[in-house]
Chains A and B, each alone.
Chain A
Amino acid sequence: MQFKYGGYTGQVLEVDLSRGKVVGNPLDPLLAREYLGGAGFCSRVLYDEIGPKTRPLGPENVLVIATGPLTGTLFPQASRHVVAAKSPLTGIWGEAHAAGHWGAELKFAGFDAIIVRGRSPRPVYLWIENGQAKIKNARRLWGCDVYETDAMIKEEFGDGSIKLLYIGQAGENLVRFAAVMNDLDRAAARTGMGAVMGSKRLKAVAVRGSRDIPIAKPESYLKLMDELREKMLADPFTQGRADYGTPSLVELMNEIGRLPTRNFQTGVFEHAEAIGGKTIRKRYLVKPRADFACIQRCGRYTCVPEGPYAYIGGSPEYETLSCVGSKCGIGDVEAILYAHHLCNRYGMDTCSFGGTLAWAMECYEKGIITKDDTGGLDLSWGNHASMVELVHMVARRKGFGNILAEGSYHAARKVGRGAEEYVMCIKKQEIAGQDGRAQKSMGLGNATAARGADHLYAFPVLDEVGFEKAIRERFGAKYLPEIGEKLNPKYKGLMVKECEDFAVVVESVGVCKYGTMIPPTFFYSDILRALNATTGMRLTERELRRIGERIVNLNRMFNVREGIARRDDTLPERLLKEPAPDGPPKGHVVELDQMLDEYYRLRGWDVKTGLPTRGKLRALGLEFTVKDLPRRKVAR
């Protein structure tokens, strides 16, 4: 039977690994209308199913993998899926996103989302084809890395066109920042979703399908997609993305002093050029490699042809170059490329791996961690041989790697001796490649993000290099020029609030933040038109904006239920008290409190506690969460 709306398959696969049962259930059309899909779908399912008593690595945690109504369609860059569960790294809301070809294929195989419950007694993987699913034995796959698993399953079926999502050894070994990988080099990296999948003993999800994604209005759809494609291609940003991908941000971030270097001691790195986009393009680029229906093609293949770091495979993004590179003082680009490749094979988040290593390196510099702790490894800044060795050790939880596998927050508590002081985490997750002192909106966005340190939840980038026209359109001309000044805290509460609301809509429909957040090509009106032509939902822009706000508030309530409040929306002391020493932000700290006040006020949350108010929750249709507000501290 066909679903009420186009764009969706209308089926959700529910898997109970403890009992070995799979069942396809119809998607609730009301859920689709109120939360769209992707991140929004996950937020509602997990709010209802898990809570404070859920242990992230216990069988009671629920892992949701969801696509959006635009995933697998012709909207530019609509290749995204979302993986969510309670996070073993942060203990709160966990969510990670990836592109690739897997999400689209899941829909062609007949499902919008997969909900995984329980824990299998033995390693298994899921096989999904045209509305049918089977749990299959994964004993021979257990212990294999992502590349090996990919090859083995494709060989088993004799079909190289099967699309796969999987974990590597890091997920099996419950590394707290293990990633869920797909299509070899695509990572739903953050918050340790790979460890949750590993705890369920689910090695992989293989999909193949020949079902339709129906389109509500095929005639106007074709015209609209032609229009959007032309708009995307005409953006001057597109060619730059195609030529360099995100690595070119290394040079840009270094210029504005936002490139975290030596565990955020500074935002300017002397070897930035050596690890930047130009170097990689000139010496290592094989070709741009697009994800499904992606016009911008920032994904790419790189090759180090010879030497100890020889490999061919996916290319690192800016965040990896920053976290594994500058943050650890490493200027050897081949070592970074290789470490990135290894992290992908093991299935591990490069942001948290690099962040944890940078913490250890600073502790080593300060004499808190010595060779006695590391098993003889020299952790001086820039020691790339130790860094590469530690990728293996962390993924396999060997020696000192077993401590780093806990993430820097937990590792510092184990080490003690004042190591906590150098942890650059927010809500226990390592900050990626963003020094908020150089861009105040990033500082605030990291502090308020639902999944702990996260540059992507709000992804406020329009003040980075002056997108004045887009700023005027999106926030209003009356806030200029202050809102566009990256070192000025003024109006950044507004910017972050608006960006968060829009970004969760983007993640819920299954679209990439490139093309929506930066370059700011598509905004609500474009997504709305595409959504209505695809689904036939006849949403208004007001409703779409309200959906964004609803999802942000629901994520917040998930965290409030876990005890999160204003005191947790903070940054490491270093960013609040130590002025940036170099570059344009020299002398700056993050003026967090004043930005937070503005942010909470605009959110309609209690400024003192950072808790959503009953009125706000009711207005957004989140009545069912009101009971979870702390009794005594509830604001009017």
Chain B
Amino acid sequence: MRDPTAAPQYQGLLVRVWRWLAGLVFWSRVQGIARTLRGRMLVALVPTLWLLLFFLVPFLLVFKISLAESVLAQPPFTAIMHWSGEALLELRLNLANYLLLLEDTLYISAYLNSIRIAAISSVFTLLVGYPMALGIARARNTARLILLMLVILPFWTSFLIRVYAWIGILKNNGLLNNLLLTLGLIKQPLPMLHSDFAVFVGIVYSYLPFMVLPLYSTLVKIDQSLIEAAEDLGCRPLSAFWKVIFPLSLPGVTAGTMLVFIPAVGEFVIPDLLGGPDSLMIGKILWSEFFTNRDWPVASAIAVVMLLFLVVPMVIFQRSQEKALDEDGRGRR
């Protein structure tokens, strides 16, 4: 017969021994992992933590604040959670911001307009960029290097200033209108600035390097003998292009198009400086909700919905990026 009061003591001892043993095993495992992976873990951990804190967590906050109400305070939104009474967590979700986006046709038409403008500009960028990438890929070594440099160089100079350059060219008494008037091609200046046309030009111009570089890096890898084989078998140059070169360059086309399309949807500077007052883009609306109306919750809701539109293209882009790098690695090993 055991003494029932002794049992807790006995159990307590057992628990302590067990904890000590488990701690020992755990610690030795930690040490082992740390020894083999210390450097590596740190290397992977630092950027992961940084991006988690400053890139991923902020998106959750945008979602949270899109459910808050706008108030005249600092910061200008309500808390959606607060402790009421003892331990009762009160959750006050406010869907009014999303309803506003649905009800007011301004927002819907701005979303659709942004997607339309970004899509059309991507196609034009592809049309301008493809011959350039092909030409660079076909050039000889030194010329290729110089041509590549020349594509990259404008990308390194200020984006804002490159957009600004087009104001001087496109406005009513600007360079292009003056040129066309002197040539006698037009009688009156064409109102080109503050139109969709100007936005297209601005996007194509600013994002051209993003299209040319991925295109070039797929085109330059295409085996020249494939094209020669096609031509030997009687393929005309144009059909050799459509049947051999273009299909092989599709990964570059995808990457380049996404690199233009996705940021163009949320573009602010180009529609603001070059676009017309009636063609609204969603990036500009988000900006004015935030800075002019100081309605942070509505601005956040706009951002959340914009992200929903962009998730699919972003996943496509990430896949293409991963695939390109994998193939690169395999091809070289």
Partners in one complex: no
